[in-house]
Structure 1
Amino acid sequence: MGSSTDHGGAGGRGKKGSGSQLWKKALLHSSLCFVMGFFTGFAPSSVSDWTSAAVSAGGVGSSHVVRSLHATGGAAVNRSLLAQAAAGAVDAGPQPLLVVVTTTESTPSAAGQRAAALTRMAHTLRLVPPPLLWVVVEANPDVAATARLLRTTGLMYRHLTYKDNFTVADAAAGKERHHQRNVALGHIEHHRLAGVVLFAGLGDTFDLRFFDQLRQIRTFGAWPVATMSQNERKVVVQGPACSSSSVAGWFSMDLSNATSPVAVGGAGYGAAAARPRELDVHGFAFNSSVLWDPERWGRYPTSEPDKSQDSVKFVQQVVLEDYSKVRGIPSDCSEVMVWHVNTTPLPSSQPSPQNKR
């Protein structure tokens, strides 16, 4: 009996040992399955699996989609993605700098309107995609108020001043604004600010598409300008006459009297038509590189130094000399994209000066 009891105890211990080993094996097996399933989840599924699932789930329509995907192949898809990325890179390429030059008047009557006009111009320029540099020129006594205003615009700007004194008569004749433009062009030339230069008056209104057209200028660009005289109730459109995007001459039209276009200059209007003596500075733009062109100083004889030293007159003269370098804006010059409101009363016998803005 004792021996049977001893054998029974040994058999119980054997059963307990085998049971614990089974639990260990089961735990190890489940752990291995868990680890394999965990890492398998990170592996990409095969194309055949999801395509077959799509066919079984979607029927005929899905099978057509799957076959089309197989027909295109991965290489074609990759090429299309690369082409789209390249096109996006071209569209997002660097754009030329727009240098917008704005002049002011130092007369007491204009001082009260300067802040409002500058604020309106700042809001317009903030709608233009960068890069853009706003160059504001004014007399030295008016610097403090304008400097505070420019700091709040959020625009990249240069604030230029001068100490020259101009009388009310000089300002009315446009001499002060002409001097301010030369100050701005001298600053651009000195610092080699490469870009497209535009003279924007405080009384000018622009179509926003106009600024996109400006960035396409390589040397010179010109466009029609509609000048509205509030006191005289008249609208005069002056600008280039274009054949496609090439400038063939210049015209002037009084829309208030419904008169026919009057030729101002250009070969397209016949030999009798003389070129205009001076272009409206608000009707053209140019690449700033012409300011430091070495040929500038040898273009005119020494008897006419004023034409080469006066930057504004120099650019105006170069535009009139060679129409082939002038790009029409828009391409056929058939749309007015710049308007100017002239609120200065002028005698009826006095012609409207082109640069008095």
Structure 2
Amino acid sequence: MPPNSRCIGDRKSFKRIVWQYFWRTHQYCRLAVLLPLICAFVLGLTFGIWICQLDSRAASNGNILPTIYVVTATYKRPEQRAELTRLCNTLARVPAIHWLVVEDADSPSSLVADTIGNCGVLSYTHLYVATPEDEKLKSTEPYWWRPEGVRQRNLAFEWLRNDPSRTGVMYIADDDNTYDVRLFDEIRATRRVSVWPVAFAGGLLYEGIRCAHGRVLGWIVAFKPHRQFPLDMAGFAINLQLLLSDRQPNWPTRLKEDF
């Protein structure tokens, strides 16, 4: 045997051992990288199937979110698009709503149609009705003498009455107000009528109610506190069952002394 033949054989064996070591280490590393990905995929698939099963069970048990019918009367003015967009961006974050937008106009405008059709609210209805000239506020009258949006809201009520099978809650949301999305969780829970405070209304930091044990004891208001129900338009919601039980739940076009 040549003197260096054993050394050459040892070198080849060493290289083979090193190569096998690095190959196996490479395979283990690949497995270590792939295993978490496989586990994440399986867990995600399992979670998705579980969510679908929960949704199907909720649907079969009737645990679907009640629909909130949001009524918005709007009229032409420079800030109309901006205020509709702000409201729409809020409503787009709320599940299970139907937005009823009623224009004070003789025909639907492209501005309103384009705004509400491209801002993210998936379910909406665009209506219109013009306020007669003799019902509009005169320059000599106080700002509160003739209520705005009456014809438009009454048309929305008529639309709701056209299908007695509708269920859910009706809420009036003017487009010049700002709303917290958490309010709609309270609205959705309305069984008959719900009321809550409204900020920066009637000359106060907020208008609201004084209540105890679920019963209204009085009102926190400054503007005409003698009214029977001194509520801001944004301060209440009505369950549709109660609303539709009266075939004529319309607002009068002229105010009474104790409105």
**TM-score between the two structures when normalised by the length of structure 1:** 0.47
Q: Which has the larger radius of gyration?
A: 1
1:61-100 equivalence runs, <5 A:
93-100=63-70
* 1:224-277 deviation line (CA, Å, top 9, x unaligned): 112258xxxx534222211133322222269xxxxxxx9x5xxxxxxxxx6625
Cα distance change on mapping 1:151 and 1:277 into 2, 3 Å = closer
Mapped contact 2:204–2:221 kept (Cα < 8 A): no
Between Structure 1 and Structure 2, the one with more helix by share is 1
Secondary structure of the corresponding residue to residue 247 of structure 1: strand
Mapped contact 2:190–2:239 kept (Cα < 8 A): yes
1:1-357 equivalence runs, <5 A:
93-106=63-76, 111-128=77-94, 130-138=95-103, 139-141=105-107, 143-155=109-121, 156-166=123-133, 169=137, 173-192=145-164, 193-227=166-200, 235-252=204-221, 264=225, 276=228, 279-293=231-245, 296=246, 309-312=248-251
Supply the AA of the counterpart residue of 2:200.
T
Secondary structure of the corresponding residue to residue 78 of structure 2: helix
May I ask how many residue pairs the two structures share in their alignment? 192
Secondary structure of the corresponding residue to residue 170 of structure 2: strand
Q: Aligned-pair distance for 1:132?
A: 0.5
Cα distance change on mapping 1:115 and 1:288 into 2, 3 Å = same
Supply the AA of the counterpart residue of 2:69.
V
Cα distance change on mapping 1:117 and 1:87 into 2, 3 Å = closer
Q: Aligned-pair distance for 1:189?
A: 1.1
Q: Aligned-pair distance for 1:202?
A: 1.3
Q: Measure, in 2, the Cα distance between the counterparts of 1:200 and 1:312.
A: 16
Cα distance change on mapping 1:237 and 1:143 into 2, 3 Å = same
Supply the AA of the counterpart residue of 2:100.
V
Secondary structure of the corresponding residue to residue 286 of structure 1: strand
Secondary structure of the corresponding residue to residue 204 of structure 2: strand
Supply the AA of the counterpart residue of 1:99.
Y
Q: Measure, in 2, the Cα distance between the counterparts of 1:240 and 1:150.
A: 33
Q: Measure, in 1, the Cα distance between the counterparts of 2:232 and 2:176.
A: 14
Mapped contact 1:166–1:176 kept (Cα < 8 A): no
Secondary structure of the corresponding residue to residue 140 of structure 1: coil
Q: Aligned-pair distance for 1:88?
A: 10
Q: Measure, in 2, the Cα distance between the counterparts of 1:95 and 1:186.
A: 23
Q: Aligned-pair distance for 1:105?
A: 2.5
Secondary structure of the corresponding residue to residue 238 of structure 1: strand
Q: Measure, in 2, the Cα distance between the counterparts of 1:278 and 1:241.
A: 12
Supply the AA of the counterpart residue of 1:204.
N
User: Unmatched 5+ residue regions in structure 1?
Assistant: 1-81, 255-261, 265-273, 298-308, 314-353
Q: Aligned-pair distance for 1:195?
A: 1.4
Secondary structure of the corresponding residue to residue 211 of structure 1: helix
Supply the AA of the counterpart residue of 2:174.
G
Q: Measure, in 2, the Cα distance between the counterparts of 1:122 and 1:87.
A: 27
Q: Which runs of 4+ in 1 moved over 6 A?
A: 85-88
Supply the AA of the counterpart residue of 2:83.
A
* 1:270-314 deviation line (CA, Å, top 9, x unaligned): xxxx66255332211001122331xx36xxxxxxxxxxx45246x
Secondary structure of the corresponding residue to residue 221 of structure 1: strand
Q: Give the share of equivalent positions with the same residue, in percent.
A: 29
Q: Aligned-pair distance for 1:141?
A: 4.4
Q: Measure, in 1, the Cα distance between the counterparts of 2:147 and 2:227.
A: 23
| Match of residue 16 from structure 1 | none
Q: Measure, in 1, the Cα distance between the counterparts of 2:174 and 2:157.
A: 15
| Match of residue 347 from structure 1 | none
Mapped contact 2:72–2:102 kept (Cα < 8 A): yes
Q: Measure, in 1, the Cα distance between the counterparts of 2:55 and 2:115.
A: 40
Q: Measure, in 2, the Cα distance between the counterparts of 1:228 and 1:253.
A: 9
